[in-house]
Amino acid sequence: MLYEPILTKMLAMKLNGMAEALEEQRKSADVAGLSFEDRLAMLVERQWLWKENRALSTRLKYAKLRQPACVEDIDYRHPRGLQRSVMEHLSGCDWIRFAQNCIITGPTGAGKSYLACALAQKACRDGYRTVYFYAPKLFREIQAG
């Protein structure tokens, strides 16, 4: 098998995930016993995961989130009046799909920025592009536009 030309063509076609998986298969003795279809399925799955992870990374970078937050890490025990059912509904991202808005209000230190970043991160994981703005910056951007 002409390994180097295949690897070069994969990289030229931007099949980096598949190229990495092929390299791992080449080094692993366990894979030799698998059928062609199984090995091909492993390569395709790896390429798909590579593209999905790369797209997620790009969306998160574009979002410019203020802090690393995750809806799964939200603390509902803190006495700020946050309801789990409301956050579960918002984290489903249906409001984004239907082009609705979400405004988070509350006193200083209630965790508004954290919640916004958590919802934005979840939206990025679900395939949506987001951008984080705090109110003064948003108003400046709107005025400049």
Task: State the CB neighbour count (10 A cutoff) for residue 140.
Answer: 11
Range with lowest mean pLDDT among 9-23, 49-63, 69-83, 109-123: 69-83
What percent of the chain has a predicted confidence (pLDDT) above 90? 47
- The chain-wide mean pLDDT, for the chain, equals 89
Residue with tokens 């092929």: 22
pLDDT in tens, 55-111: 999 999 999 998 999 999 888 887 778 888 989 999 999 999 999 988 888 888 888
> Does residue 1 register a pLDDT over 70?
no
End-to-end CA distance of the chain: 57
Contact 91, 124 (CB under 8 A): no
Q: What are phi and psi of 64, to 5 degrees?
A: 50, 50
